Amino acid sequence: MITNMRKFTIFLILFFLFLVFPTSKSLAEEKINSFESKIIINQDSSIFVEEKISYDFGTEERHGTFRDIPTKYDTNVGKRSIKLDILGVERDGVSEPYDYSGDRIKIGDANKTINGSHEYLIQYSVLGAINYFDDFDELYWNVTGNSWPVMIENAKASVILTSEIPKENLKAGCYQGIFGSNESCITSFDKDNIIFSSTRNLNQGEGLTLAIGFPKGLIIPISGSQKTWWWLRDNYIAFLPVIVFILLYMRWRKYGKDPIGRGTIIAEYEPPRDVLPTMVGSLVDEKVDNRDISAGLIYLAEQGFAKIKKIEKSGFLGFKSSDYELELLKDIGSCTTKTERTILEMFFGQGANKGKIKNISEFKNNRSFVAEVEALKSSLYQDMTDRGFFVQNPQKAKVPYIILGIIILAVGFFIGVPIFGLIGILGFGLSGILFIIFGSLMSKKTPLGAETKDHILGFKIFLTVTEKDRLAFHNSPERTPEQFMKFLPYAIALSVENKWAKQFEGIYITASKGGSGSGGGGFSGGGMGGGGGGSW
């Protein structure tokens, strides 16, 4: 027991000594004594780079060093890449083995270790590093890189132009420090060379960057076709929306495009048989919305099932507000159509008897009522499918595309941007939006549905014509108050109630079987909520 205690005590002492006193690695910190770069700007727009790196490993045994040189960069117009070719690598004047992959030049022999100070020479050529502007060309080059984990005691770069250019025609500057720093360093001119030097030690994560602008004509720029090809190669994600559009268009042609109906839209004086107002709008725009349900309620009032009365209420400080009072005139059980019976049950409750009164304001912000409305919409979609108007339930047909579109948008934001930059937002964003748009178009009608839609559109023409055009119709029915009330629910469903009402200007419209205004007048161009839908 005592022996074990002694061992544990010795372990603790050694452990704390390890923490308190620096290790041999920290005593012999690695560093770069000097980093010198020679850059030659060639007439073909390529640059030759020779780097002399004096690397001190201290007493640590290492296989060698590595040099990271990025070849892909983010710009305002997408990704941009450069072509980098390694020409040679030496250590202490002798060729040294290396491996170049993934932007990293890994220098050294895996079977050997070295320590102390060594001189590395790295030579490589770069194509695509020159920036072309309207008035000048520019080399903007990160000499050392900013990812060294060790200190660089001295950094220096010299740029050589192949043609002699007067000093006053050159623009040159350099920066030192962390990424994004605008701390200046020394820029000087020596014959044909422009020399850039650091003014202090560069710590971990710091580097030296130079910029030199020179007149147009000094170099032969890369051709426009080659630059375009490089951009397309680096930003291929930009083509994703084009591919997605083609694939979705082909799929829509097969699974979403409606068959040809009648081929010609002609005026119709009656709506399609057995197609009630709750359905006519949905067969045209393939969406069931609140306006369709409003039209159904107005239809029920016209049929004598309910009475709709506008009432004025006194509010705070004498301000008045409007509401609508609904009165059930017949027992709900006497309504034989499923959708219309459901509408009555939504407002008056299941099994309600005549005489029950409700105000529209009672349903405002009523979550239960909203859920019932959404359930009714789903039921209408299925009803239209069961009656043979659609190949597949329109609501269900679009869901997979919309979900996939949202997923693509999310992937583009969380993955596409880090990998592809801003162009990733464009590629994934447009692709996701295309899925959502085409999803809304995948509600394919049957031949019966297409013919019924054409009939409805013909009826819509009749509801919207002016008096002059109406006279040109063959056997056009006479305008009567009864006709106005009969077709008003259809006009509301098709969003043309105001044009329908305009045809009856000058004709006194009395209340329908189940409708009255606050002072005995009729509906104002289409009933509740300015014609339906909006007041819920």
CATH number at residue 185: 2.60.40.1730
Sheet holding 207-215, edge to edge: 130-132, 136-142, 207-215, 171-177, 183-184
State the pTM of this model: 0.69
CA neighbor of 211 nearest in space, from 169, 177, 171: 171
Instruction: List CB contacts of 419: < 8 A, sequence separation 6 or more.
Output: none
Gap between the Cα atoms of 321 and 312, Å rounded: 6
Inside any domain, residue 457: yes
- Integer CA distances (angstroms), 238 to 99, 425, 438, in order: 32, 9, 19
Residues 275 and 131 in one domain: no
Measured between alpha carbons, how far apart are the two ends of the chain, in Å?
83
| Tally of domains within the chain | 2
Q: Are 152 and 144 in contact (CB under 8 A)?
A: yes
Residues 287 and 355 in one domain: yes
Inside any domain, residue 258: no
Inside any domain, residue 281: yes
Whole domain around residue 459: which residue ranges?
Answer: 265-392+443-531
Residues 113 and 202 in one domain: yes
Residues 207 and 286 in one domain: no
Neighbours of 114 (CB within 10 A): 18
Residues 194 and 323 in one domain: no
Residues 308 and 223 in one domain: no
Residues 202 and 309 in one domain: no
Helix (H) or strand (E) holding 138: strand 136-142
Residues 79 and 218 in one domain: yes
pLDDT truncated to tens, each residue of the chain (536 aa)?
A: 445 545 444 444 444 444 444 444 443 489 999 999 999 999 999 999 999 999 999 998 999 999 999 998 888 778 888 999 999 999 999 999 999 998 999 999 999 999 999 999 999 999 999 999 999 999 999 999 999 999 999 999 999 988 778 888 899 999 999 998 999 999 998 877 899 999 999 999 999 999 999 999 889 998 888 888 988 888 889 899 999 999 999 999 999 999 998 888 888 889 999 899 999 999 999 889 999 998 999 898 888 988 888 887 766 655 677 788 888 998 888 888 888 988 888 888 888 888 888 888 888 888 898 899 999 999 999 999 999 999 999 999 999 999 999 999 998 888 887 788 788 888 999 999 999 999 999 999 999 999 999 999 999 998 888 665 655 555 566 677 788 888 899 999 999 888 888 877 665 555 555 554 433 333 222 222 222 222 22
